[in-house]
Amino acid sequence: MKKDIRSCSLSEIEAFIIDIGEPKFKAKQVNEWLWAKSIGSFEEMSNLSKSLREALGSAFKINKLKVHKKLKSNDGTIKMAFKLFDGGIIEGVLIPSEDRYTACISSQVGCSLDCRFCATGFLKRERNLLASEIYDQVVELNTVSKQNYDHPLTNIVYMGMGEPLLNYNEVLKSVEYITSSKGLHFSPKRITVSTAGIDKMIRKLGDDNVKFNLALSLHSAIDATRAQMMSINQKNDLKKLREALKYYFSKTKNLVTYEYILFKGVNDSLDDAEALYQFTKHLPSKVNIIEYNQVEKVPYRGSSPKQFNTFIKYLKEKGVNIHVRRSRGKDVDAACGQLANKH
């Protein structure tokens, strides 16, 4: 079996290049074609000799993902299904707004968690994505953004299918390529990795002193309520998460974002708002309050507009840094929690 060349380090490519009698600097040219230019075949490496291209093709392959399906919402959101080299399907979303063009990307095929309000949680996890497969989603969504809106991506969020911190090494490697001057040269400050909350991996982010932003899918600051919605809370309770986030902040000084979907009669009372205030006040943070997007098989419903606004008003009066995220792409199942591979 040929090895995917994008799973090789530069030093591994250099060793191959030297071994076949080519000058070492050719490896950097190969790397530039693979990442900065994101080509899909060795034949496209036009500044390399035919013999070198053939040698690379004999030893390696390039597993580029392919666009499987593209749907455009009435609000301009674009959902894309991507087919992987082994037939797996993942989804990514382009969310355009006045001054932001955000790519929402996946980190796993399916998901190993079972959050009860999320469509992806009903899928089993097939496998983790490789760094190159995460990278390719960004490249494709960036191309679509420029084609449709004449503007490149401004932001990237790891909020698609899967739990990024359960694919830790490949996710961090993908960020490295996306932010590298030899890759997409994207600012890490415009990248957010979202987690359902794994305390030891949040601490590891701190130890690794990451430069990107971290978001916690919180959805309740009351243990019993959160555990009912998200079984991960049984092993990663709120006390553990709070301590892990404090440790993360002490290492990185990065502001923490909390994601909070409002569910009718579940987590939208003023007691819930007070608990959220108490949980978030310990660190510099912002809270994204999110409209719920209806998902098949899920018993939850979104809060009423009146309760939604009452909840937000209470937190604002407490001085909480609140941002309201309205649903985008609902009509093509592209909104938060709706990615379920219906293809």
pLDDT on residue 60: 98
| Count of C-beta atoms within a 10 Å radius of residue 87 | 8
What local confidence, expressed as pLDDT, does residue 121 receive? 66
236 neighbors 200 (Cβ within 8 angstroms): no
Angle at 161 between CA 321 and CA 34, to 5 degrees: 105
CB atoms within 10 A of CB 204: 17
Active-site annotation, residues: 91, 336
Q: Given this model, what pLDDT does residue 336 score?
A: 55
Distances in whole angstroms, Cα of residue 223 to Cα of each of 1, 165, 198, 240, 272: 48, 21, 15, 11, 11
b/e sequence 277-314, b meaning 16+ C-beta within 10 Å = bebbeebebebbbbbbbebeebebebbeeebbeebbeb
Residue 22 and residue 305: Cα distance in Å, rounded? 66
Backbone angles phi and psi of 143, in degrees to 5: -60, -45
Measure the CA–CA gap between 13 and 27, rounded to whole angstroms: 6
The answer to whether the CB of 138 falls within 8 A of the CB of 103 is yes
Q: Distance between CA 228 and CA 117 in Å, rounded? A: 11
Q: Which domains does the chain have, with CATH numbers?
A: 3-61 (1.10.150.530), 66-332 (3.20.20.70)
Question: Which ranges of the chain have pLDDT less than 50?
Answer: 335, 337
Dist CA 61 CA 43 (whole Å): 12
Give CA torsion, residues 290, 301, 315, 270, to 10 deg: -170
Decide if 96 contacts 145 (C-beta within 8 A).
yes
Give the per-residue pLDDT at 139: 98
pTM (2 d.p.): 0.93
* CA within 13 Å, CB half, 126: 17
pLDDT score at 125? 83
C-alpha radius of gyration, the chain, whole number: 21
The per-residue pLDDT for 340 is: 56
Strand partners, 292: none
